[in-house]
């Protein structure tokens, strides 16, 4: 089983500042947590600050080698029609995750454009959002 874990802009800097909102763990720590928690899943980790790279990564999941997408689109969550449209072309479980609770912050974070094309959104559980995202995708796969 192969899961694609996508992270959007600025998430490469996790752990370097704003620990109150985003915790102290680096993105590499989150990747280690996932690998430890799910040793039987092959993870492909992609982080990019560029919208087109993320669209390319989503399209790569269309060739049938990826079983699920777990994604934190970062700031693109609230702006990206291109990511939304790419997601609509991929028919596998897709779970959006956020470290912070996007509904408890500034109003502009309330709306998730990308979330409309995902199966669901997990938001506000710190780095555990990623683990819960994988759980949700596994549940979807076992239900099908």
Summarize as ranges the residues that interact with ligand CA2 (CB under 6 A). 10-11, 13-14, 16-18, 22, 72, 74-75, 77, 98-100, 102, 109
Q: Which of 84, 98, 103, 130 is catalytic?
A: 98
Nearest CB to ligand CA2, comparing residues 93 and 115: 115
Distinct helix (H) and strand (E) counts, the chain: 5, 5
Please report how close the Cβ of residue 18 comes to ligand CA2 at its closest, in angstroms.
4
In three-state form (DSSP H/G/I as H, E/B as E, the rest C), the secondary structure along 49-75 is: CCHHHHHHHHHHHHHCCCCEEEEECHH
Cβ-based neighbours of 39, under 8 Å, separated by 6 or more: none
Please report how close the Cβ of residue 130 comes to ligand CA2 at its closest, in angstroms.
9
Nearest CB to ligand CA2, comparing residues 78 and 141: 78
Using CB positions, name the residue nearest to ligand CA2. Answer: 100
Cβ-based neighbours of 96, under 8 Å, separated by 6 or more: 71, 72, 73, 77, 112, 114, 115, 118, 120, 121, 122, 123, 133
Active site residue 38: no
Please report how close the Cβ of residue 4 comes to ligand CA2 at its closest, in angstroms.
17
Distance CA 93, CA 102 (A): 21
Active site residue 130: no
Nearest CB to ligand CA2, comparing residues 132 and 141: 132
As annotated, the active-site residues are 22, 98
């Amino acid at each position: 089983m192969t899961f694609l874990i996508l992270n959007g802009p600025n998430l490469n800097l996790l752990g370097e500042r704003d620990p109150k909102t985003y915790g102290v763990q680096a993105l590499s720590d989150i990747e280690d947590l996932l690998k430890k928690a799910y040793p039987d899943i092959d993870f492909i980790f992609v982080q990019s600050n560029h919208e087109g790279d993320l669209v390319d990564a989503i399209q790569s999941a269309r060739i049938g080698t990826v079983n699920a997408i777990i994604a934190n689109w970062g700031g693109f969550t609230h702006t990206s029609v291109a990511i939304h449209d790419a997601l609509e072309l991929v028919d596998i479980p897709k779970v959006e995750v956020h470290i912070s609770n996007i509904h408890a912050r500034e109003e502009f974070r309330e709306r998730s454009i990308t979330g409309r094309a995902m199966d669901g959104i997990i938001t506000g559980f710190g780095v555990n959002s990623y683990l819960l995202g994988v759980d949700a995708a596994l549940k979807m796969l076992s239900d099908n």
